[in-house]
């Protein structure tokens, strides 16, 4: 509104006053910061409330105070320290360079991590502790710091809790395709807290697809339980996605849904949205269809467990190019196609279930290699904690063929979802990754010149362009640095209803469909499929269909917030791990140089 109530959030070192709206109801969108034009310099302090007239100016907003209202407060997360018998609050945000005198410690002691309110005018801004969070160097505090610092909602309303309890008791409903006789398996990380997806494949007996495959990617039918405009839906939309930390997960959905009723658990009947794929022997997608189904997962396997079963097969057959990632079943080197998989009693013979999955994946991998997506071997860091939350190790995650297999099945289902919606001219929330900008490419060229690696700016840039650079470098010791620089050259992926393709995957149409338990974008795609193909009464609401652009902006912003929280927390864990090894000599690699710090 043109006239609104604002709260003074900051007064910077230059005396500029910044405010935010006291009430902000755009779910998932951070409130704007408005620069306040004071009539008398220094009249306003942090925490004060004003009635102001607002106007847009350039890329920002300006507020003209009309009236000063009753004072309020701004919250800061920080650590208490004592100096000369007085307590000071040091913020955990590295961008906050100031310290604040503590007027009320609220029972907290020096060294405690606290949440405090700020009030007053410069230079007399004081802090009052409102919540004691504990030891800032305790491992389990690191995620709390990120949660509070970035404002990630981590508590569900009582209304949402009550509603989730009610919907969790819903019967699966009539008219679902019964897939319980198929040995569908879920392959996930060993420490997975929820199971969105499961897969099955067998040789296609249709002569028109000789040498090809039939596959099913079964995805948790979250849209059946999370109805538009419900309290559970509002909470999910506020979060945008689940946030994963080494010691906890802040889920998008309440635990009774994310870890129980929606999660595809071994031996339990579960509601699923099934993507049926016919895959050619060259890995091309011949056709697809979507159904609402009931599934009974034959097994929840860890990646390592599935890989070990394949590796133990006699003889293990390496797929060409699989490297050290483990053995892969290759039908071309054993038989034309394995026989149809028999039903599995309990866990039964997992090898007979996994071999066709690996064989079908061999075809999908051929298609992937043909389109040459961006291939950067940059393993993520894995922080392992003991039961007390202490850091046991920090190491790169091992990447197996089992990881690649699931990744390729999920990509195939995501492509099918996008194309299925396009066929019906239905709304699509695309996952978009645009090509790098010329400025980024010029910076990469300059960087590569330091290693005498040529890079021409005039060429048409494709993912294969970057892959060729890496191949040219070979096993040079600077290979990881170049891959990291290539990663920095890429644009950030985002969600939007206008299709601009996915550069990194070399795909023309791509949407996220396979993780509705942890991503709101996938839930929107599910709802659109339900509406487009008449799979149920509750699909995509008309207002969401009409406002996909703004919804995409919101969930993209929330995704970036989650990524920042996860990255910051992992960095703190790594720093804490190294702090206990002062004096030890380690092999390290310099990843950047700054002129300060």
Out of 13-27, 109-123, 332-346, least confident range: 332-346
Helices 548-579 and 520-532 sit at what angle, rounded to 10 degrees? 150
In a domain, residue 485? The reply is: yes
Q: Indicate whether 120 and 52 sit together in one domain.
A: no
Predicted confidence at residue 56, as pLDDT, reads 85
Q: Indicate whether 128 and 49 sit together in one domain.
A: no
Q: Indicate whether 94 and 61 sit together in one domain.
A: no
Q: Indicate whether 433 and 452 sit together in one domain.
A: yes
Q: Indicate whether 95 and 43 sit together in one domain.
A: no
Q: Indicate whether 443 and 558 sit together in one domain.
A: yes
Q: Indicate whether 518 and 463 sit together in one domain.
A: yes
Q: Angle 418-506-453 (CA atoms, 0-180°, nearest 5)? A: 160
Rounded to the nearest angstrom, the gap between the alpha carbon of residue 293 and the centroid of all alpha carbons in its chain is 26
Q: Is 400:304 a contact under the CB 8 Å cutoff? A: yes
Q: How far apart are CA 459 and CA 387, in angstroms?
A: 53
Q: Is the dihedral of CA 305, 308, 312, 315 positive or negative?
A: positive
In a domain, residue 494? The reply is: yes
Q: Average pLDDT of 209-221?
A: 97
- Buried b or exposed e, range 67-89, using 16+ CB within 10 angstroms: eeeeeebbebbbbbeeeeeebbb
Predicted confidence at residue 597, as pLDDT, reads 52
Predicted confidence at residue 11, as pLDDT, reads 74
Q: How far apart are CA 451 and CA 458, in angstroms?
A: 20
Q: Indicate whether 61 and 115 sit together in one domain.
A: no
Q: Average pLDDT of 219-245?
A: 95
Q: How far apart are CA 290 and CA 66, in angstroms?
A: 57
Predicted confidence at residue 125, as pLDDT, reads 84
Q: Angle 316-317-319 (CA atoms, 0-180°, nearest 5)? A: 140
In a domain, residue 363? The reply is: no
Q: Average pLDDT of 365-390?
A: 88
Predicted confidence at residue 339, as pLDDT, reads 43
Residue 141 confidence (pLDDT) above 80 = yes
Q: Angle 293-299-302 (CA atoms, 0-180°, nearest 5)? A: 120
Residue 329 confidence (pLDDT) above 80 = no
At 28, is the pLDDT very low, low, confident or very high (cuts 50, 70, 90)? low
In a domain, residue 235? The reply is: no
Predicted confidence at residue 15, as pLDDT, reads 74
Contacts of 67 (CB under 8 A, 6+ apart): 50, 51
Residue 331 confidence (pLDDT) above 60 = no
Q: Average pLDDT of 354-378?
A: 95
Residue 30 confidence (pLDDT) above 80 = no
Predicted confidence at residue 14, as pLDDT, reads 67
Q: Which residue has the tokens 């919907």?
A: 167
Mean pLDDT of the chain: 87
Q: How far apart are CA 540 and CA 228, in angstroms?
A: 8
At 42, is the pLDDT very low, low, confident or very high (cuts 50, 70, 90)? low
Both structure tokens of 362: 């061999």
Final residue belonging to a domain, choices 136, 156, 174: 136
CB burial of residue 33 (10 Å; 0-12, 13-18, 19+): middle
Partnered with residue 64 across adjacent β-strands are: 53
Out of 37-41, 104-108, 166-170, least confident range: 37-41
- Buried b or exposed e, range 373-389, using 16+ CB within 10 angstroms: bbebeeeeeebebeeee
Number of H helices, E strands in the chain: 14, 23
Both structure tokens of 304: 């390592």
Give the domain CATH number at 32.
Answer: 2.40.50
Q: How far apart are CA 236 and CA 432, in angstroms?
A: 22
List, in sequence order, every beta strand (DSSP E) within 481-594.
494-496
Between 348 and 429, where is the model more confident? 429
Predicted confidence at residue 135, as pLDDT, reads 84
Q: Indicate whether 21 and 132 sit together in one domain.
A: no
Partnered with residue 244 across adjacent β-strands are: 249
In a domain, residue 407? The reply is: no
At 347, is the pLDDT very low, low, confident or very high (cuts 50, 70, 90)? low
- Per residue in 530-578, pLDDT (tens digit) is 999 999 988 999 999 999 998 999 999 999 999 999 999 988 888 888 8
Predicted confidence at residue 318, as pLDDT, reads 44
Residue 332 confidence (pLDDT) above 60 = no
Final residue belonging to a domain, choices 93, 111, 136: 136
At 359, is the pLDDT very low, low, confident or very high (cuts 50, 70, 90)? very high
Residue 518 confidence (pLDDT) above 50 = yes
Longest dimension (CA), the chain: 85
Q: Is 459:480 a contact under the CB 8 Å cutoff? A: no
At 216, is the pLDDT very low, low, confident or very high (cuts 50, 70, 90)? very high
Both structure tokens of 582: 């002062």
In a domain, residue 446? The reply is: yes
Predicted confidence at residue 381, as pLDDT, reads 81
Predicted confidence at residue 420, as pLDDT, reads 98
In a domain, residue 109? The reply is: yes
Final residue belonging to a domain, choices 37, 68, 99: 68
DSSP codes, 343-362 = PPSTT--HHHHHHHHHHHHH
Torsion of CA 314, 320, 324, 328, to 10 degrees: -40
In a domain, residue 459? The reply is: yes
Q: Indicate whether 17 and 126 sit together in one domain.
A: no
Both structure tokens of 477: 């010791």
Residue 252 confidence (pLDDT) above 50 = yes
- Residue 368 CB neighbours (<10 A): 20
pTM of the model: 0.81
Predicted confidence at residue 29, as pLDDT, reads 66
Q: Average pLDDT of 424-442?
A: 97
Predicted confidence at residue 27, as pLDDT, reads 59
Q: Is the dihedral of CA 411, 412, 417, 421 positive or negative?
A: positive
At 5, is the pLDDT very low, low, confident or very high (cuts 50, 70, 90)? confident
Quote the DSSP letter at residue 260. I
- How much of the chain exceeds pLDDT 90, in percent? 60
Q: How far apart are CA 477 and CA 481, in angstroms?
A: 9
Q: Indicate whether 24 and 96 sit together in one domain.
A: no
Q: Average pLDDT of 101-117?
A: 90
Q: How far apart are CA 215 and CA 360, in angstroms?
A: 8
Predicted confidence at residue 1, as pLDDT, reads 60
At 344, is the pLDDT very low, low, confident or very high (cuts 50, 70, 90)? very low
Range of the domain at 439: 420-563
At 337, is the pLDDT very low, low, confident or very high (cuts 50, 70, 90)? very low
Q: How many domains is the chain partitioned into structurally?
A: 3
Q: Indicate whether 56 and 30 sit together in one domain.
A: yes
């Amino acid at each position: 509104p043109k006239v609104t109530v604002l709260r003074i959030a900051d007064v910077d070192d230059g005396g500029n006053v910044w405010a935010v709206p006291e009430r902000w109801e755009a779910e998932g969108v951070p409130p704007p910061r408005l620069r306040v034009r004071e009539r008398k310099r220094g009249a306003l302090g942090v925490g004060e409330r004003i009635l102001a007239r607002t106007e847009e100016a350039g890329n920002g907003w300006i507020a003209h105070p009309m009236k000063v209202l009753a004072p309020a407060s701004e919250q800061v997360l920080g650590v208490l320290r004592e100096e000369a018998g007085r307590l000071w609050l040091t913020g955990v945000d590295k961008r906050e360079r100031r310290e604040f005198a503590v007027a009320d410690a609220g029972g907290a002691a020096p060294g405690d991590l606290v949440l405090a309110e700020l009030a007053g005018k410069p230079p007399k801004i004081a802090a009052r502790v409102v919540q004691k969070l504990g030891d800032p160097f305790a491992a389990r505090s690191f995620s709390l710091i990120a949660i509070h610092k970035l404002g990630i909602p981590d508590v569900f309303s009582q209304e949402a809790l009550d509603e989730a309890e009610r919907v969790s008791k819903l019967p699966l409903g009539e008219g679902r395709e019964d897939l319980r006789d198929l040995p569908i398996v879920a392959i996930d990380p060993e420490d997975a807290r929820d199971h969105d997806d499961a897969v099955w494949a067998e040789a296609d007996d249709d002569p028109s697809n000789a040498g090809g495959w039939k596959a099913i990617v079964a995805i948790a039918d979250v849209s059946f339980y999370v109805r538009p405009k419900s309290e559970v839906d509002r909470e999910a939309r506020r979060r945008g996605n689940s946030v994963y930390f080494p010691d906890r997960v802040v889920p998008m959905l309440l635990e009774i849904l994310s870890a129980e009723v929606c999660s595809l658990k071994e031996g339990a009947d579960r509601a699923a949205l099934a993507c049926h794929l016919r895959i050619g022997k060259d890995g091309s997608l011949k056709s697809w269809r979507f159904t609402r189904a009931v599934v009974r997962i034959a097994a929840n396997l860890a990646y390592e467990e599935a890989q070990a079963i394949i590796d133990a097969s006699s003889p293990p057959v390496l797929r060409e190019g699989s490297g050290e990632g483990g053995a892969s079943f290759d039908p071309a080197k054993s038989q034309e196609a394995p026989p149809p998989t028999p039903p599995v009693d309990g866990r039964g013979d997992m090898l007979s279930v996994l071999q066709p999955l690996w064989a079908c994946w061999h075809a999908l991998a051929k298609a992937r290699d043909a389109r040459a997506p961006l291939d950067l071997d940059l393993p993520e860091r894995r922080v392992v904690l003991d039961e007390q939350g202490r850091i046991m190790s920090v190491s790169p995650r091992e990447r197996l063929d089992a990881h690649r297999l699931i990744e390729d099945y999920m990509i195939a289902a995501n492509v099918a979802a996008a194309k299925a919606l396009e066929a019906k001219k239905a709304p699509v929330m695309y996952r978009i990754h645009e090509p790098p900008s010329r400025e980024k490419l010029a910076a990469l060229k300059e960087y590569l010149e330091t290693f005498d690696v040529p890079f021409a700016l005039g060429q048409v840039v494709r993912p294969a362009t970057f892959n060729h650079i890496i191949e040219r470098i070979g096993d040079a010791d600077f290979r990881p640095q170049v891959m990291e620089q290539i990663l920095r050259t890429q644009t950030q992926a985002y969600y939007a209803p206008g299709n601009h393709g996915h550069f990194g995957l070399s795909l023309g149409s791509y949407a996220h469909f396979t993780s509705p338990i942890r991503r709101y974008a996938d839930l929107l795609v599910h709802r659109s499929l339900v509406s487009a193909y008449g799979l149920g009464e509750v699909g995509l609401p008309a207002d969401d269909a009409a406002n996909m652009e703004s919804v995409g902006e919101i969930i993209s912003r929330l995704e970036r917030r989650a990524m920042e929280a996860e990255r910051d927390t992992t960095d703190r864990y790594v720093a804490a791990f190294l702090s206990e090894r002062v004096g030890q000599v380690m092999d390290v690699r310099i990843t950047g140089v700054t002129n300060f710090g």
